[in-house]
Amino acid sequence: MAYKHTNSKGVTYYLNSKEVTLRGGKVQRIYYFSKDERPEATDLPDGYEVNENPRNGFLTIKRK
């Protein structure tokens, strides 16, 4: 089940994640929001919370 969040403007976003390889060769998992449900959809990881930019409604996650 994908995590979804509706921002203050009434737009619903779904949390996605994927693993990317950095220039040094290290593999890191990144999280991002999209307006549509994708196969990369994921739940909100433990210890994280959703933040919303009050100016534009953009969503990010950060550690608690």
Query: Taking phi first (over 0 means left), then psi (-120 to 50 degrees means alpha), and beta for anything else, what does residue 8 get?
Result: alpha
Q: Which domain holds residue 35?
A: 4-63
Mean pLDDT estimate for the chain = 95
Q: Among candidates 64, 27, 22, 39, which has minimal Cα distance to 14?
A: 39
pTM for the model: 0.89
Residue 25, both tokens: 């060769």
Residue 44 has pLDDT above 80, yes or no: yes
pLDDT reported for residue 30: 96
Q: What is the total count of domains within the chain?
A: 1
pLDDT reported for residue 1: 73
Instruction: Tell me the mean pLDDT in the region 6-34.
Output: 96
